[in-house]
A and B are shown apart, each in its own frame.
Chain A
């Protein structure tokens, strides 16, 4: 009887139309991160030299209609030993994609990357920075959006409706690698009367023409980079984020010629308080198979410029960036990256070293070192000059 039922069920399942088949998959990673600070802290509440932190980031994926529709859900959680602000959760992605013949519609919380350079991402403006994660600005919060993407012979056009805004996260008073005066997100304010509910829009065109990959866009909406106001709350002075409206046009270009990658990003940002141009440009040259081995050595150089000069609240306003990337191309994917930046206005510099390697099939180990030097209190990096640290990260993939 049971086996008959089983057969019947099996028959029914195979008889179902293909459209009803849903493919499901789960993957993800957990990480443990240990930081060791090599110097005494500069500010109150930072009186520790080591910090532990753990993250979990599963990804759930469904696909149906023969792959015409898919849904991705990626929640994220970090727990931090010392900083309550760094202990936080986010939905990195909750996104439905519907695919047409020469178009696709992407709806939900998503991450979008624009740009070509390595040391600073000027043109990348859709997602808010999750700056409690790390000081380098590479981590982003999911952004709610409706994105229609059209594929044409003359390029890909992306249209974005961005309903609602995500506030930037900031390291709390117990965290290290932060500004001297703590940023208080509860005191955030907006230029737009719609506040965080302003409907932002963007249109971007991108295309490949032979050796050149290029993109151009216009963004209209809330500036992801806040200005800061000094505000008092319960007898303490805080930095209060103030989010202006902006119109930004941006352009990015990469020329890929033999072993050279030539890169340029430029923006014009127009807000009620300022209108300026900024650019980041440079190259990456790779020596393949060095010393008759399988290893590649890439050499990077970029320069960041901002029309506002020393008044700029950007990190790379007159800065030179040099880097070297060694890729062993071995079975463990061993990689090393070293980068130096030098600020010509404030004569400060920083050194970043990263090394990573896979162990077995599912483990990855990274060792990073970050060292800062600054002597000018007006320099943005002055407040982190005593936050040199080593960071060990263990990742387990599942």
Chain B
């Protein structure tokens, strides 16, 4: 079954790779999908990654609050990533840790560790659209990009900060998504996202995410140092800064289970 799925995937990829030869017959939907597949393939092979995240939440009045999180992730071939996040700030949730096995298709598996009670709780992954730690990022905004999570439509080419960008509309497959659609700007040389606009369930513009200060790691993996999310409806915003990116640190499946969750800190 897995083998079948794999070979089907490679058939799709093969088909898509030959697609440019018959570009005249390519529809906007096919082109959008091809860009997504190429974007995913261009970042393939990062294996594992560790980084620190700092979030600054701002309300309409400009009041700030801070979140500090450390993140480890593991690339899983033909599926979503595994990740382990540990909260350092705010201090009342220090030591709280979050283990997630995300899946390209179907519900993610998620567990939360509550250090005060020494308790591991399996939690429902249904709340994709909910805010992450009270920020303007929802859980789905922070989950790994998988081709299967959306259907696509290529809109146009447009100048952007990264040169010339593909502008692609993305429609979430999951009915629990908080969005009807997203519009993403990806540069044509490295497939880096520079901007995403999010439209709520009533199809009004809800948020804009912009990417800043890209660095290249391991010769092909581009990561931004800063992501800015602005909520146009509430006037709130969140700046997410990444630091200390390291790749291929030797993490394996054994680093992502309930035991490692309990002592993640």
Q: Is the CB of A261 within 8 A of B130?
A: no
Q: Is the CB of B126 within 8 A of A259?
A: yes
Q: Which of B120-162 contact A (CB under 8 A)?
A: 120-127, 129-131, 134-135
Residues of A that sit less than 8 Å from B by CB: 27, 29, 61, 70, 97, 99, 101-102, 104, 111-113, 116, 138, 149, 151, 156, 206, 208, 211, 213, 254, 256, 258-261, 286, 288-289, 294, 296, 329-333, 358, 361-362, 364, 395, 397-398
* A256/B118 contact (C-beta < 8 A), A288-B130, A329-B130, A358-B90 known: no
Q: What are 23 of the A-B contact pairs (CB < 8 Å)?
A: A27-B91, A29-B91, A29-B92, A61-B265, A101-B254, A113-B120, A156-B258, A208-B109, A208-B122, A256-B122, A256-B123, A258-B124, A288-B126, A288-B130, A289-B129, A296-B127, A333-B92, A358-B90, A361-B65, A362-B90, A362-B92, A397-B92, A397-B94
Q: Is the CB of B94 within 8 A of A112?
A: no
Interface size on B, residues (CB 8 A): 36
Q: Is the CB of A364 within 8 A of B92?
A: yes
- Say yes or no for B263: interface residue by CB 8 A criterion: yes
**Which chain B residue shows the least CB distance to A298?**
B124
Give CA–CA (A101, B265) in the complex, Å.
18
Give CA–CA (A105, B66) in the complex, Å.
35
**Which chain B residue shows the least CB distance to A111?**
B118
Please give, as numbers and ranges, the residues of chain B lying within 8 Å of A102 by CB-CB distance. Answer: 254
Give CA–CA (A165, B259) in the complex, Å.
25
Please give, as numbers and ranges, the residues of chain B lying within 8 Å of A156 by CB-CB distance. Answer: 257-259
Q: Is the CB of A286 within 8 A of B124?
A: yes
Give CA–CA (A208, B110) in the complex, Å.
11
- Say yes or no for B57: interface residue by CB 8 A criterion: yes
Q: Is the CB of B118 within 8 A of A113?
A: yes
The CB with the most chain A CB atoms within 10 A, among B120, B131, B135, B259, is that of: B259
**Distance (Å) between the CB of B243 and the closest chain A CB?**
18
Q: Is the CB of B131 within 8 A of A286?
A: no
Please give, as numbers and ranges, the residues of chain B lying within 8 Å of A206 by CB-CB distance. Answer: 258
Give CA–CA (A213, B121) in the complex, Å.
10
Q: Is the CB of A294 within 8 A of B131?
A: yes
Please give, as numbers and ranges, the residues of chain B lying within 8 Å of A260 by CB-CB distance. Answer: 124
Please give, as numbers and ranges, the residues of chain A lying within 8 Å of B178 by CB-CB distance. Answer: 289
Give CA–CA (A262, B54) in the complex, Å.
35
Which of the residues B89, B117, B134 comes within 8 Å of A330, measured between beta carbons?
Answer: B134
- Say yes or no for B8: interface residue by CB 8 A criterion: no
Residues of B that sit less than 8 Å from A by CB: 57, 59, 65-66, 89-94, 107, 109, 117-127, 129-131, 134-135, 176, 178, 254, 257-259, 263, 265
Which of the residues A149, A259, A333 comes within 8 Å of B134, measured between beta carbons?
Answer: A333
Which of the residues A111, A112, A254, A395 comes within 8 Å of B92, measured between beta carbons?
Answer: A395
Q: Is the CB of B91 within 8 A of A361?
A: yes
Please give, as numbers and ranges, the residues of chain A lying within 8 Å of B92 by CB-CB distance. Answer: 29, 333, 358, 362, 364, 395, 397
* A331/B65 contact (C-beta < 8 A), A113-B117, A258-B124, A358-B90 known: yes
Q: Is the CB of B90 within 8 A of A151?
A: no
Give CA–CA (A289, B120) in the complex, Å.
24
Which of the residues A138, A211, A213 comes within 8 Å of B117, measured between beta carbons?
Answer: A138
Q: Is the CB of A258 within 8 A of B126?
A: yes
**Distance (Å) between the CB of A393 and the closest chain B CB?**
12
Q: Is the CB of B91 within 8 A of A97?
A: no
What would 9 more interface pairs be, CB under 8 Å, given A97-B263, A397-B92?
A: A70-B263, A112-B118, A138-B117, A213-B122, A256-B122, A258-B126, A260-B124, A288-B130, A294-B131
Give CA–CA (A22, B188) in the complex, Å.
46
**Distance (Å) between the CB of B253 and the closest chain A CB?**
10
**Which chain B residue shows the least CB distance to A115?**
B119
Give CA–CA (A260, B130) in the complex, Å.
16
Q: Is the CB of A329 within 8 A of B118?
A: no
The CB with the most chain B CB atoms within 10 A, among A111, A261, A329, A364, is that of: A329
Which of the residues A27, A99, A296, A332 comes within 8 Å of B94, measured between beta carbons?
Answer: A27
Q: Is the CB of A286 within 8 A of B127?
A: yes
Give CA–CA (A113, B89) in the complex, Å.
24
Please give, as numbers and ranges, the residues of chain B lying within 8 Å of A288 by CB-CB distance. Answer: 126-127, 129-130, 176
* A113/B134 contact (C-beta < 8 A), A102-B254, A151-B254, A361-B90 known: no
Please give, as numbers and ranges, the residues of chain A lying within 8 Å of B118 by CB-CB distance. Answer: 111-113
Please give, as numbers and ranges, the residues of chain B lying within 8 Å of A116 by CB-CB distance. Answer: 121
Give CA–CA (A364, B121) in the complex, Å.
23
**Distance (Å) between the CB of B4 and the closest chain A CB?**
20
Give CA–CA (A211, B125) in the complex, Å.
11
Give CA–CA (A206, B261) in the complex, Å.
14
